């Protein structure tokens, strides 16, 4: 299960190599780049089959120049726009993933666990509280970014960082819900009542003690996941603070902000790969 969760949750790559590849791909796939290139190739094919002449030669050269010029324009001149568009698309994919995980998390079931009288009710209440905190902090960070930065790649990087941190929290809460559900299926009252009997069969006693151990393991895992979430919430607060300080200074230091985002993404990646989710 842990491997499946991690495979479904991949942080966006903020590295220069990944973003450069995305912009190159967008520049190459633009119709103003591809169509002239195809036209040039067809012109070259005509000359190869029927011999070089003025019309196909001029057409081939013209198409080649148009295609190369279009690629150069979009690859270098329009870099910022294409990078921002790429990050915006990634962010929409992240938001779709959030909706998918929220359906699985099922906050109504968490509320039911929190209201019932059983061993994990306080942990269910803590989980619901963290879900509310995660949503509130995510919205606060998004608003701070919107108020601070103009739309562009830096703006989109911050929004993506906020959405991915929220997604990381949702995946952890999903794991907590699963542990709550499994733990609830093991009744400690039933187990303790049977273990208190003097005439209990030894084999049955060992089985009951094993069930109790599994229950305790679920509860301990939930506690560790709650701590992990608090660490991520702390990182959200740190990034929000950086954004607000940037707005207060009225000076945007690109390297500083990008370093914060890269470090933050790496910390969230470590949390998600810690083996707890």
Q: Residue 213: what pLDDT?
A: 96
Rounded to whole angstroms, the Cα distance separating 172 from 136 reads 17
Q: Residue 76: what pLDDT?
A: 60
Q: Residue 56: what pLDDT?
A: 64
Name the burial class of residue 212, with classes exposed (0-12), middle (13-18) and buried (19+) by CB atoms within 10 angstroms of its CB.
Answer: middle
Rounded to whole angstroms, the Cα distance separating 226 from 173 reads 8
Q: Could you write out the DSSP letters of every residue in 57-90?
A: HHHHHHHHHHHHHHHHIIIIITHHHHHHHHHHHH
Rounded percentage of the chain residues whose pLDDT exceeds 90: 35
Q: Are 239 and 161 spatial neighbours (Cβ–Cβ below 8 Å)?
A: yes
Q: Residue 141: what pLDDT?
A: 93
Rounded to whole angstroms, the Cα distance separating 269 from 231 reads 12
**Looking at the predicted structure, is the pLDDT value of residue 252 above 70?**
no
Instruction: Encode pLDDT of 87-127 as tens digits.
Output: 888 888 889 989 999 988 888 888 998 888 788 899 999 99
More confident of the two residues 214 and 267: 214
Q: Are 121 and 114 spatial neighbours (Cβ–Cβ below 8 Å)?
A: yes
Instruction: Pick the closest to residue 174 from 237, 110, 113, 230 (CA basis).
Output: 110
Q: Region 219-245: what's the mean pLDDT?
A: 92
Q: Region 30-47: what's the mean pLDDT?
A: 64
Q: Residue 242: what pLDDT?
A: 87
Task: Flag the least confident range among 154-158, 202-206, 230-234.
Answer: 154-158
Q: Residue 245: what pLDDT?
A: 82
pTM here? 0.69
């Amino acid at each position: 299960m842990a491997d499946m969760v991690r495979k479904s949750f991949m942080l966006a790559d903020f590295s220069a190599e990944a973003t450069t590849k995305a912009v190159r791909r967008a520049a190459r796939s633009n119709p103003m780049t591809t169509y002239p290139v195809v036209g040039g190739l067809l012109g070259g094919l005509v000359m190869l089959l029927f011999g070089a002449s003025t019309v196909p030669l001029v057409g081939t050269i013209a198409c080649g120049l148009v295609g190369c010029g279009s690629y150069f324009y979009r690859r270098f001149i329009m870099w910022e726009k294409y990078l921002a568009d790429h990050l915006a698309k990634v962010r929409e994919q992240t938001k779709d993933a959030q909706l998918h995980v929220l359906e699985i998390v099922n906050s109504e079931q968490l509320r039911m666990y929190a209201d019932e009288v059983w061993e994990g009710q306080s942990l269910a209440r803590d989980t619901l509280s963290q879900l509310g905190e995660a949503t509130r902090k995510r919205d606060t960070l998004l608003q701070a970014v919107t108020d601070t930065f103009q739309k562009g790649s830096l703006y989109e990087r911050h929004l993506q960082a906020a959405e991915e941190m929220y997604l990381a929290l949702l995946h952890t809460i999903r794991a907590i819900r699963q542990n709550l559900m499994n733990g609830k299926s093991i009744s400690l009252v039933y187990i303790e009542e049977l273990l208190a009997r003097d005439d209990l069969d030894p084999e049955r006693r060992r089985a009951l003690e094993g069930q109790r151990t599994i229950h305790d393991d679920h509860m301990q895992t939930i506690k560790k996941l709650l701590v992990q979430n608090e660490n991520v919430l702390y990182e959200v607060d740190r990034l929000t603070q950086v954004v607000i300080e940037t707005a207060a200074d009225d000076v945007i230091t690109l390297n500083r902000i990008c370093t914060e985002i890269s470090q933050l993404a790496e910390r969230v990646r470590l949390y998600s790969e810690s083996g707890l989710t």
